[in-house]
């Protein structure tokens, strides 16, 4: 069988033009699929940035909340009620909102404000400069150093702003796991300062962050919160709910899905047609092999090998080119949200398998119908 496969390899690479066309078709299809799904993964990750960065196991919210950025203020009694639920290890308040910063040069910049529990600072970011304890100082704020950091003129420790007509002092610089989706810088402060400095409604509590005593307590906590008239979601379920909102209620998911399907169809049509042309041009050689005793199973093995070799090579080139383009884009555009995940790679690999399977099926049907005497008669 190894001899047959060597012959198949020689037939495949002998015509460099056809072989290059096959590789380009699959590589281009993989490139488009990886780019589209990577953009989707990056956007979904940034859409759930607050959930990811905070690290809370459970979130208590109003039933009307569709994503983490669309918080509905809760009455203060909800915090005490949740703390009294059996199975709750601890529960802390959290505030999320937007503010307007007046920069030293007179420009204004919208910012996202996260207010952490005064007692525990649960959900605090990792510090790069300054001390987390300094957030308790008068007008103390911590700025996140991410892709949006430069929009605040890259402030250092001690920089002063005017935030909603209040004085704000940067007491630390922090780093978080995921950047913001909406292109605005993020500031952390205490819950009490955030609710005092930012204009708000009658209720100021955005979320209650809950840590259950054990995973087995999660269903009971969810049921108890539901009985209060509110919703409790685990971290993963809240991320999924946020993703569903952006997929189905913003059109983002449908558009990216359509682009992925288009790239798949383009790749399949180009590769299938090119591979079929390759088979037609080598029919005489397959007929000659059949005439000298090659079995149908060996001919099928040759075609499957050629399709698999081309598909895997094109897949590797497409993934490598996608990674290179995304890396270059992030160097030039720090806000570029695309990210390659194992899910992206898996989806692209399955689609490449489908493309190679269809191309192989077309080639196998044509080769099995050939008769040796037709070749020699011609």
SS3 track for 278-329: HHHHCHHHHHHHHHCCCCHHHHHHHHHHHHHHHHHHHHHHHHHHHHHHHHHH
For 169-189, how does the pLDDT look when each residue is reduced to its tens digit (9 = 90+)?
999 999 988 777 777 899 999
Q: What is the pLDDT of residue 307?
A: 81
pLDDT over 60 (residue 142): yes
**Average per-residue pLDDT in the chain?**
84
pLDDT over 60 (residue 378): no
Strand partners, 211: 90
pLDDT over 70 (residue 372): no
CA–CA gap between residue 269 and residue 284 (Å, rounded): 25
Q: What is the pLDDT of residue 374?
A: 59
Beta pairing, strands 140-144 & 166-175: parallel
17-23 contact pairs (CB < 8 A, 24+): 18/274, 18/277, 18/278, 18/281, 19/310, 21/270, 21/274, 22/271, 22/274, 22/275, 22/278, 22/310, 22/314, 23/310, 23/313, 23/314, 23/317
For 300-321, how does the pLDDT look when each residue is reduced to its tens digit (9 = 90+)?
888 888 888 888 888 899 899 9
Q: How far from each other are the two terminal CA atoms of the chain, in whole angstroms?
A: 29
pLDDT over 70 (residue 100): yes
Helices (H) and strands (E) in the chain, counts: 12, 10
CA–CA gap between residue 100 and residue 163 (Å, rounded): 6
pLDDT over 60 (residue 89): yes
For the chain, what is the largest distance between any 2 Cα atoms, rounded to a whole number of angstroms? 96
For 198-242, how does the pLDDT look when each residue is reduced to its tens digit (9 = 90+)?
766 778 899 999 999 999 999 999 999 999 999 999 999 999 898
Q: What is the pLDDT of residue 234?
A: 94
For 47-57, how does the pLDDT look when each residue is reduced to its tens digit (9 = 90+)?
888 888 888 99
* Buried b or exposed e, range 300-331, using 16+ CB within 10 angstroms: ebbbbbbbebbbeebbebbbebbeeebeeebe
């Amino acid at each position: 069988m190894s001899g047959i496969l060597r012959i198949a390899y020689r037939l495949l690479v002998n015509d460099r033009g056809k072989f290059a066309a096959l590789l380009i078709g699959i590589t281009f299809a993989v490139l488009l699929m990886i780019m589209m799904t990577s953009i989707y993964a990056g956007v979904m990750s940034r859409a759930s940035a607050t959930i990811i960065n905070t690290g809370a196991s459970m979130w208590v919210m109003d039933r009307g909340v569709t994503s983490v950025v669309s918080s509905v203020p809760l009455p203060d009694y909800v915090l005490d009620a949740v703390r009294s639920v059996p199975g709750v290890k601890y529960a802390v308040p959290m505030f999320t909102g937007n503010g307007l910063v007046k920069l030293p040069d007179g420009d204004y910049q919208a910012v996202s404000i996260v207010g952490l529990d005064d007692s525990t600072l649960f959900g605090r970011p990792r510090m790069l400069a300054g001390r987390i304890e300094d957030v308790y100082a008068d007008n103390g704020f911590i700025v996140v150093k991410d892709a949006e950091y430069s929009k605040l003129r890259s402030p250092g420790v001690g920089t002063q702003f005017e935030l909603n007509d209040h004085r704000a002092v940067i007491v630390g610089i922090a780093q978080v796991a995921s950047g913001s989706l909406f292109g605005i810088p993020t500031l952390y402060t205490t819950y009490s300062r955030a609710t005092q400095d930012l204009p708000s409604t009658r209720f100021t509590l955005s979320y209650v962050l809950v840590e259950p005593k054990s995973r087995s307590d999660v269903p009971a906590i969810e049921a108890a919160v539901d009985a209060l008239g509110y919703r409790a979601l685990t971290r993963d379920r809240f991320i999924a709910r946020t993703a569903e909102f952006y997929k189905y209620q913003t059109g983002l998911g449908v558009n990216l899905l359509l682009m992925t399907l288009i790239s798949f169809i383009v790749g399949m049509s180009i590769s299938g047609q090119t591979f079929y042309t390759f088979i037609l041009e080598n029919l005489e050689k397959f007929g000659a092999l059949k005439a000298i005793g090659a079995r149908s199973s060996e001919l099928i093995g040759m075609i499957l090998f050629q399709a698999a070799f081309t598909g895997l090579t094109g897949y590797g080139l497409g993934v490598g080119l996608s990674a290179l383009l995304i890396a270059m884009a992030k160097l030039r555009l720090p806000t570029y949200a695309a990210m390659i995940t194992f899910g992206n790679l898996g989806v692209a690999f399955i689609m490449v398998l489908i493309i190679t399977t269809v191309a192989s099926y077309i080639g196998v049907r044509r080769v099995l119908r050939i008769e040796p005497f037709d070749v020699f008669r011609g």
